[in-house]
Chains A and B, each alone.
Chain A
Amino acid sequence: MTGTGAVTERYELVIGLEVHVQLSTRTKLFCRCSTAFGAAPNAHTCPVCLGMPGALPVPNPEAVLLATRAALALGCEVQERSVFARKNYFYPDLPKGYQISQFELPLALRGRVTLASGASVGITRIHMEEDAGKSVHDKVPGKTAIDLNRAGVPLAEIVSEPDLRSGADAVAYLKWLRESLVFAGVSECSMEEGSLRVDANVSARLRGETAFRTRTEIKNLNSFAFAERAIALEFKRHCAMHDRGEPVVQQTMLYDQANDEVRPARSKEESHDYRYFPDPDLPPIDLTAAFIAAVRASMPESPTARRMRYTNTLGVPAPDADALTTDRALAEYFEAVVRAGADGRTAANWTLGEVQARRNEHPGAAVPVPAANLAALIALVAAGTVSNTAGKQVFATMWREGGVPKAIAERDGLIQVGDADALARWVDEVFAAHPDELARLKAGERKLVGVLVGQVMKRSGGKADPKKVNQMISERAGLG
């Protein structure tokens, strides 16, 4: 029983995640400095975020608002009173020698999400805190250079219960979290720019055991794939140590992408003792029921709720519903098309097909075709007034030039011909030109219907109604 398969059969993986997201405010949590990414080092600093003697923090209401939105988006209970606290430790990128965070009274408590796998994951708490600066080790030889542009940028820390039991579930939880927060306009959640950061607490225990064993914390996982990989490696390490009867030491680990290994971070000489206490420079934050209700009313529907509604009441297939809800702008466009009268399934096809293809070519641009015009086009296609192919042409024209679909179809000669006499004339001509195919069709080679329909479409310049042509050819060939 030494193979890894056997080990993971005997041991259960336990994961809890601590996620930091940057709240998308324009200014820092306690001063008016910009939060813009990519500025010259220390350009966005002032006496407050530099921790100069005599400077004082003043809370940014926008950060409180966004943190409240985060809490509601993740289904947590927003607390009437929360209190900022000081977390004390020395580090050169921490200007005051303490980080302003929340400790005993955080902004929100108790959330829960059920993942697609069926796993139920609790959220312990969400609190606000300020970010630290950045230590740069390659700018000055032999020294560390400190850039405090990030110092004081507002973060929400989201702490999960140790409820996750697989790396895949951890990733699913992270994706849900990111999607919900981006949707709610709380954060960009960009791992590249550091606006979403993940630490994973990992432990292993024998299946059936009720107590948790010692955990280690893997810090600064900078992609979902690396998170899954690092968790897998660390789980394996824990299992092997348990098998050998070696104690797991509670410590901080780092994932080294280059070497694909998890190794201990530089060990600290002292155990952490953060000496949290309420920050006397800051009043308690009281969120009234009226405020929480107003924030709730301003929240967009969550992706999960939307997905349910799309599949259950709009008849959208589940994969399409998933695709639509990855992007709030796309989902809202789709809904506008439905509101303008289109059927849900068809509107989803168009939104994910023609609309999405063009948005991918022009990222960030608004959709120039009003939803009502797409709905009108869908109606034209459904009525057989224009073919599906011609409809795509009309849509392309609307995107490029604007205009309403009917007028474009008429102007460009894309109105389908369904008149029996006109269709019969084209069918006669095609039969005359392709006697062999006609004979084989009559002999029962049914696939040739398509070939002959194609020929009619070609002869009609795309205007013939393909359904009716199909029917006519089948009848005339005696296939009923």
Chain B
Amino acid sequence: MSSRLDGSVGALVDAVQSGAASALDVATESIARIRASDSGTAGDAPLNAFVSVDDDVQSAVAASSGGSAARALAGVPIALKDNIATLRLRTTCGSRILEDHVSPFEATVVGKLRAAGATIIGKTTLDEFAMGSSTEHSAFGPARNPHDRDRVPGGSSGGSAAAVAAGICQVALGSETGGSVRQPAAFCGIVGVKPSYGRISRYGLVAFASSLDNIGVFGRAVDDAARVFDVVSGPDAEHDATSAAVEPETVQQEPGRLDGVVLGLPAEYFPDSLDPAVRDRVMRASVAARARGAEIRQVSLPHTALAVPAYYVIAPAEASANLSRYDGVRFGRRVKEASARDPLRAMYEATRSEGFGPEVTRRILLGTYVLSAGYYDAYYRRAMAVRDRIRADFASVFASGVHALLTPTTPTPAFKFGAISDPYEMYMTDVFTVTANLAELPAMSVPTGRISGLPVGAQIIAPRFAERAMFRVAYALEAELGGEAHTG
């Protein structure tokens, strides 16, 4: 059955604005598709893309001020990663410790989406507190990859990516600290956008690592993501001191040529060890860019190899402090313990040990370790120095006349559940994405073909606040690749 949900966001908005479609009908269908995706009727394992679904569709639509008015996202159903604060639905962060937590305030992006007429249909599955690359660390079960339900959808925003890829909705919000939007977008064959740090307000995004966290956008197509990006980006000085003061340029545009654009291929992102099939699919994008008039240039980002180690010092360090507020005192789960010489300490330890899963625990311990007396200089301070080098690498490449970089998003397509058990091996799946987080750069993943039916993503990285230029490349690649983006 063909439906408004199977077309573009632009077409849906036009239909709602002209009265040809109703926001309520579209949202109702979207929620029906969630139910179907979890029913297992097709012999599939449940998709489990959602932690919470807004079953009161009428109220969900009414909560958006512009269902039928001439608004940018009128009637567009949207899914939010469950670490973005909402008033109508709980915000669990995929954690037992926040299982029943309903936020007393909503994220800036949620207010913007509602004002633009979008309908928030539900909250999606994630790795606990966004720490993971597969959603296997969700306390409420992992989401599955719609292309192969035995495989992970990627993470940590895997539920949002799966929901879009499965056709439940055209767009969704995720968040990323080291690639948690781009990697699942690549694994699920959709578009995933990480903004420049400061471009989209973090107010209401539950913090993992504040200097690396970003809210990101998923779309089935580039234009879908662009329309949502234009709604949710912009300054928010009143609520987020790290928000950038400058109004962004509109990223939504017509696909065009790339004459005069120089795209860099950084050698470090195409190591000899890279799977030749992945290299081949990414080169497809390079060829497409050239066909549209872009110049392709080989470049080097020499400190890339230190990015994952630096990231896995800085992110856990910040996380160890950000997650101290989960102490059972004011909100969230509290585990009482009768015993104890020191009943307060016992309450803290019982609450946190039972509330956090193993990956979150590991990262809190790691972060506490690298900040603790005697280790700060060896780890945290050095990692910050590396972060500076990585920023400088990018700055020098962009200063040499390169407008954007083209790389693989991930070293491999989606892997099977349980395939990676070593934590560091799992961390290495972020090897091509953490750099943009460390350097605060905008980056996005666009589909660039398949390997044995599994999607592969190409990553575009642009200078800070050059989102419009980045989208220009993405629009051109999508138009040039056409069906090739979704075939082997």
Residues of A within 8 A of B (CB): 47, 50-59, 86, 88, 90, 92, 95-98, 144, 146, 269, 273, 275-277, 279-283
A53 to B368, CA, bound (A): 20
Q: Which residues of B contact A52 (CB under 8 A)?
A: 103-105, 325, 330-331
Q: Out of A53, A57, A269, which one reaches B325, CB within 8 Å?
A: A53
Question: Contact between A47 and B317 (Cβ–Cβ < 8 Å)?
Answer: no
Stretch at the interface among B153-161, B207-215, B393-401, B457-465: B207-215
User: Chain A residues with Cβ under 8 A from B85's Cβ?
Assistant: 53-54
Which residues of A sit under 8 angstroms from B84, Cβ to Cβ? Answer: 54
Interface size on B, residues (CB 8 A): 47
Report the nearest A residue to B203, measured CB to CB: A56
B residues near A88, Cβ cutoff 8 Å = 320-321, 324, 371
Segment of B236-244, B296-304, B406-414 in the binding face:
B236-244
- A55-B203, A95-B325, A98-B324 provided; 9 other pairs, C-beta below 8 A? A53-B207, A53-B325, A54-B85, A55-B204, A90-B348, A92-B329, A97-B321, A269-B342, A275-B320
Q: CB distance A56 to B324 under 8 Å?
A: no
Residues from chain A with a CB closer than 8 A to the CB of B318 are 277, 280
Task: Select one of A53, A56, A57, A269 contacting B91, CB under 8 A.
Answer: A53
Q: Is the CB of A98 within 8 A of B321?
A: yes
Q: Please, how many angstroms separate the alpha-carbon atoms of A53 and B83 in the complex?
A: 9
CA A59 – CA B237 in complex, angstroms? 10
Chain A residues within an 8 Å CB radius of B104: 47, 52
Residues in B with CB closer than 8 Å to A146 are: 329
User: Please, how many angstroms separate the alpha-carbon atoms of A95 and B85 in the complex?
Assistant: 19
Do the beta carbons of B242 and A283 come within 8 Å of each other? yes
CB of B262 within 8 Å of the partner chain: no
Docked pose: A56 CA to B239 CA in angstroms: 7
Pick 18 A–B contacts, CB within 8 A, sort by A: A51-B325, A51-B330, A53-B85, A53-B98, A53-B331, A54-B103, A55-B105, A58-B239, A58-B240, A59-B241, A90-B327, A92-B329, A96-B325, A97-B324, A98-B324, A144-B344, A280-B242, A281-B210
Tell me, yes or no, whether B380 is within 8 Å of chain A by CB.
yes
The majority secondary structure among interface residues of chain B is: loop
Does B93 touch A at the CB level, under 8 Å?
yes
Question: In the complex, what distance in Å separates the CA atom of A95 from the CA atom of B101?
Answer: 16
Q: Decide: A280 and B211 in contact? CB cutoff 8 A.
A: yes
Instruction: Fill in one digit per residue for B182-214: 1 if any A CB lies within 8 Å of its CB, else 0.
Output: 000000000000000000001111110111000
- Tell me the complex Cα distance, A273–B238, Å: 33
Contact of A273 among B91, B324, B372 (CB under 8 A): B372
Alpha-carbon separation in the docked complex, A86 to B238 (Å): 21
Residue positions of B touching A, CB distance < 8 A: 83-85, 91, 93, 98, 101, 103-105, 107, 202-207, 209-211, 237-242, 317-318, 320-321, 323-325, 327, 329-332, 342, 344, 348, 368, 371-373, 376, 380
Contact residues in A for B210 (Cβ distance below 8 Å): 279-281
Contacts of B372 in A (CB 8 A): 273, 275
Q: Are A54 and B205 in contact (CB under 8 A)?
A: yes
Q: Give the nearest-CB partner of A84 in chain B.
A: B241
Is the pair A56, B202 in contact by a Cβ cutoff of 8 Å? yes
Residue of A with least CB distance to B237: A58
Q: Which of A53, A55, A275 contacts B101 (CB 8 A)?
A: A53
CB-nearest residue of chain B to A88 = B321
How long is the Cα–Cα vector from A282 to B242 in the complex, in angstroms? 6
Contacting residues, chain B, for A50 (C-beta < 8 A): 330-331
Alpha-carbon distance A51/B321, docked complex (angstroms): 12
Residues of A within 8 A of B238 (CB): 58
Give the distance in Å from the alpha carbon of A57 to the alpha carbon of B98 in the complex.
Answer: 21
Question: Cα distance A59–B239 when bound, in Å?
Answer: 10
A56 touching B98 in the complex, CB below 8 Å, given contacts A47-B105, A97-B327: no
Please name all residues of chain A whose beta carbon is closer than 8 Å to the beta carbon of B323 when the two chains form the complex: 97
Q: Is the CB of B241 within 8 A of A92?
A: no
Docked-complex contact A58 and B241, CB < 8 angstroms: yes
Contact of A53 among B93, B242, B344 (CB under 8 A): B93
A269 to B348 Cα, complex, angstroms: 15
Q: Return A57 CB to nearest CB of chain B, in Å.
A: 7
The complex places the Cα of A30 from the Cα of B68 at a distance, in Å, of: 38
- Would you give the shortest CB distance from B110 to chain A, in whole angstroms? 10
Residues of B close to A56: CB separation below 8 A:
202-203, 239-242
> Which residues on B sit within 8 Å (CB–CB) of A96?
321, 324-325
Partner pick for B324 among A57, A90, A282, CB 8 A cutoff: A90
A283 proximity list for chain B (CB < 8 A): 241-242
Q: Among A59, A88, A277, find the residue whose CB has the most chain B CB atoms closer than 10 A.
A: A277
Cα distance, A3 to B84, chains bound together (Å) = 69
B204 A97 Cβ-Cβ under 8 A: no
A53 touches B241 (CB 8 A): no
A86–B70 CA distance with the chains assembled, in angstroms: 45
